[in-house]
Structure 1
């Protein structure tokens, strides 16, 4: 196969490009020709004139295109009005599909697309998809395609201009403002390799999506979504919201892979529209473009594509990358031009479907390498370039300063995260025994109650108290009392299961939460601990301490309470029964939830 590409701003330049001898020879000799046209505007007359010129080149060529933020040709983002790329295939066949699609029609559209491919599905090597991502849910479309035809390899990008208000995809036959055009590349010796490069890294603390529906996020950490952007980025709901915020997407991990989700519009109620959906309960971070990671990934990706042996490379790169890297965006593209001719466009959402991951990407670059010749038998050599060129590209101008700044921010962020993690640990731990404290117990109890209600399981708690503890402090001193508390904590932890949670409730009192455990089994455990404690021989500064005994009260859910307070109260009452009966014993609660009411 052969990829021919060029940029033009008027019809004279287009005719000169199409009239080149190499272009004419390659097009006429090809089994099939796929033309991609990318424009900076939606001028229908201009697009029609381009189509007429292409039709004169060869009647059966397949033409698709889109209005875009910008376009890519020969390893660079072009300033020209349009770019045209012609993929001349020696063996592959092409199937064109054009469909309207609006919100709510994604699943039906996916079914129609797969049905249109019919019995060619088995021979498909890849499907180029150009769509209008703000007119419908592209994430849902891609997921529905994967459901209808698992593993179908889709790639491409979304159309939009800088205002995110005008979108257009087209073929030789149709102009579509809400929908998509797709081309299936089938059969022959064609091989396609697809890769995704993100480069955005998490920064700051973890946030939780607490209210969302589809691509509309209303609440983050129980606050209006826009308030989070005001707090951390100083960005409010002005006319330039998208331009101000696009470099800071939210990052969410799915299937072990980071995905970016880009906000683009604020509603009157403070909710925010994103270019792809986020789900309630998902944990997210703000993301920032870490230049060093981008550089390393591009170098690794270049090696992968190099080993594939490409004859053509198509690149679909997010507008966010263009805004962050500015004129240095070419530094991500040039390495691939040294391997094979490149073409593509700057997107509003990138497509690269995989069976185990979301197909719609944001802030990413999708690199699609193609060949029809046999795989290289030995290492290929890229077009000649100075040995250190790719290593130094990102350090030649303003990127050098940005790299240092980002390194500093990353280091500060790691320090803050470590400090916050230590503060969180200290906040829920008893400093003397190292056990969870009463504050942590509240969260543990609530989680266990919710889990038990959801799955219909019981669980038990044990409240235990050291008998005659006051004498240790009065006779042997408070340090001796601390020794007893610490030794008892060690014994409780040693006897507890990995799933059990041991807490110091206060003073000489401890609580043990035992998931999926009935009261009778918890009582057996308590009796085992009671005997073990009774057998302890404790010393403080080589002075033997009196024998230590402990009393236990056991209660279970749902038998002894409908909530955490009632359950603790029932276990406490059982503990006092053990005290009244002479201490050093285990008592189970005999009070039911109904009796408490």
Structure 2
């Protein structure tokens, strides 16, 4: 396999480069000549001229390609004309197919791709260029992935010069299609292809559930409008700058167990729904994410090491246009090291495609490296060419850094407030009885210990009372546990209404049908009559469907030197006396 890459700024220069290749391979036999065209700014007419120029010199040429958000030539960003990547295969047979998509014809397209792959004898790999912006790629790829399981599949989504634009196209032979798929098949026992990827974005904050989504339109995360999530956490608003501001903060999810990124393209100002680059399943857990330069570089270094070890004769890099916008003037630092291994060509896409296990995964914000060779490992063939320095003003550099820091600071502030609120809610749950809504035994224990400590330290009065609902087991047995729960709720409200009349009083559920109250500044003798009258009022409360339910009370006061055990022993004895001497009464032990 031989690889020749050219940066074409003018159609008139194509013939010269084609002659160079023709001269270089003269006298040698080859099985296929594959011409990848990565178009940057050429319209259909200019592309057709390029296709015709190729066929003049190489009538048997296999031509395929795509529009792009910028191309990659020898590891450097190319922003004009097109990149022509010529692969001369010694023994591999290559074929290209244009599969146009009629309106709502994605199922037919997916089946056509599957059939071609399944029917191609000796197929090793298949490459897919797809107009992601104009057809439902999820449907196409989900059907196509049902093809032979041992076929390597890779590719990318056609892109516009404006990454958020939709003027995209794919190329096969002399055909140009704005709604469809270019499919390239590679067949041959001697062909070796390795496909790996790098992401580098990190999850940011908590998980959300994509609980309302239709196709690529995401309406709600955790029942919150998706656009509101971005506004609240990252101060990104649904305005004309939404896409520019959101580039560094795509959505992170999983597809078939693999980490994938989903880039929001736009936000509806009315319902705050977001259009994603690709769909995700309803109910899928997702997170916001952010680009960490150190992690991104580490991922790319690992990818570079993998490619180096594979020792290819040609490298194709398909990288998301968002990565280009993220790195800005530094983008070549990510791709140029690959040119030290072998000739490099590729493009900046609207989506990156690769088969992982048995699934064809559509990635975003991802860099895919396709390593190719015929035969054994190749000797490194560094690409020639000067390194390009991309211009960027100091103001632009500083603005990008400040924007990221400001939005992350906003995220930290919001999540800190949410964490505090969540902790308060957890504390409330931990301290509250789930049925009645009043303090539970855990909280009452703590409050009683605190009150006893103060009473001992400052010689204060304190009254503790235990309240028991009379014949509660009979209520459960007669009317059922739901009715029993209703009695607990009704009577606890009535008890609380009476207890809160005492200064600084505390009330809660002690357990089962028992409740406890605490009057931390009063002696039982001074409040006995008040408590007894309160008991009578509660015991006259008519519970709907059951009737009047009575209660019994046992109360005691603090004695100097009392501890938790001694004071509760007297309160229990007082309650026992009330229960065994007729119920529906208040007994006191001082």
On whether the aligned pair clears a TM of 0.5, the verdict is yes
CA contact (8 A) 2:253 2:259 kept: yes
TM-superposed deviation, 1:348: 0.9
> Larger Rg: 1 or 2?
2
Can you list the C-alpha shifts for 1:485-534, whole angstroms capped at 9, x where unaligned? Answer: 9xxxxxxxxxxxxxxxxxxx9834458xxxxxxxxxxxxxxxxxxxxxxx
CA contact (8 A) 2:242 2:267 kept: yes
Q: Distance in 2 between matches of 1:158 and 1:332?
A: 20
Q: Distance in 1 between matches of 2:229 and 2:152?
A: 37
- For the pair 1:10 / 2:10, whether they are aligned, the reply is yes
Q: Distance in 2 between matches of 1:410 and 1:199?
A: 17
Check 1:228–1:151 CA distance in 2 against 1; reply closer, same or farther (3 A cut): farther
Q: Distance in 2 between matches of 1:548 and 1:136?
A: 79
Check 1:547–1:242 CA distance in 2 against 1; reply closer, same or farther (3 A cut): same
- For the pair 1:247 / 2:248, whether they are aligned, the reply is yes
CA contact (8 A) 1:95 1:117 kept: no
TM-superposed deviation, 1:405: 9.3
| Secondary structure of the corresponding residue to residue 283 of structure 2 | coil
CA contact (8 A) 2:65 2:170 kept: yes
Q: Distance in 1 between matches of 2:195 and 2:570?
A: 68
Alignment of 1:275-354 (within 5 A): 275-354=277-356
Q: Which residue of 1 aligns with 2:515?
A: none
TM-superposed deviation, 1:306: 0.8
TM-superposed deviation, 1:311: 0.9
TM-superposed deviation, 1:214: 1.4
TM-superposed deviation, 1:4: 0.7
CA contact (8 A) 2:212 2:218 kept: yes
Deviates more, 1:186-195 or 1:234-243: 234-243
- For the pair 1:263 / 2:264, whether they are aligned, the reply is yes
Q: Which residue of 1 aligns with 2:217?
A: 216
Q: Distance in 1 between matches of 2:32 and 2:240?
A: 46
CA contact (8 A) 2:201 2:291 kept: yes
Q: Distance in 1 between matches of 2:436 and 2:421?
A: 17
Q: Which residue of 2 aligns with 1:29?
A: 29
Q: Distance in 2 between matches of 1:153 and 1:549?
A: 78
Unaligned runs of at least 5 residues, structure 2: 457-461, 467-491, 493-506, 513-560, 573-578, 584-590
Q: Distance in 2 between matches of 1:328 and 1:65?
A: 26
Q: Distance in 2 between matches of 1:311 and 1:24?
A: 16
Alignment of 1:136-151 (within 5 A): 136-150=135-149
Alignment of 1:560-571 (within 5 A): none
Deviates more, 1:87-96 or 1:151-160: 151-160
Check 1:384–1:25 CA distance in 2 against 1; reply closer, same or farther (3 A cut): closer
CA contact (8 A) 1:103 1:135 kept: no
- For the pair 1:87 / 2:87, whether they are aligned, the reply is yes
Check 1:418–1:226 CA distance in 2 against 1; reply closer, same or farther (3 A cut): closer
Q: Which residue of 2 aligns with 1:165?
A: 166
| Secondary structure of the corresponding residue to residue 277 of structure 1 | coil
Alignment of 1:193-592 (within 5 A): 193-267=194-268, 269-270=270-271, 271-355=273-357, 359-375=361-377, 424-429=422-427, 435=430, 437-438=432-433, 507-509=508-510
Q: Which residue of 1 aligns with 2:99?
A: 99
Check 1:196–1:82 CA distance in 2 against 1; reply closer, same or farther (3 A cut): same
Q: Distance in 1 between matches of 2:233 and 2:310?
A: 43
| Secondary structure of the corresponding residue to residue 280 of structure 1 | coil
TM-superposed deviation, 1:215: 0.6
Q: Distance in 2 between matches of 1:193 and 1:474?
A: 69
Q: Distance in 2 between matches of 1:581 and 1:128?
A: 89
CA contact (8 A) 2:117 2:148 kept: no
Q: Which residue of 1 aligns with 2:483?
A: none
Q: Which residue of 1 aligns with 2:184?
A: 183
TM-superposed deviation, 1:264: 1.7
TM-superposed deviation, 1:42: 5.0
Q: Distance in 2 between matches of 1:579 and 1:255?
A: 66
Check 1:297–1:188 CA distance in 2 against 1; reply closer, same or farther (3 A cut): same
Deviates more, 1:252-261 or 1:291-300: 252-261
Check 1:223–1:34 CA distance in 2 against 1; reply closer, same or farther (3 A cut): same
Q: Which residue of 2 aligns with 1:568?
A: none
Q: Which residue of 2 aligns with 1:519?
A: none
Q: Distance in 1 between matches of 2:139 and 2:364?
A: 15
RMSD of aligned alpha carbons: 4.5
| Secondary structure of the corresponding residue to residue 217 of structure 1 | strand
TM-superposed deviation, 1:374: 1.2
Unaligned runs of at least 5 residues, structure 1: 443-462, 486-504, 512-538, 551-577, 583-597
| Secondary structure of the corresponding residue to residue 332 of structure 2 | helix
Check 1:179–1:313 CA distance in 2 against 1; reply closer, same or farther (3 A cut): same
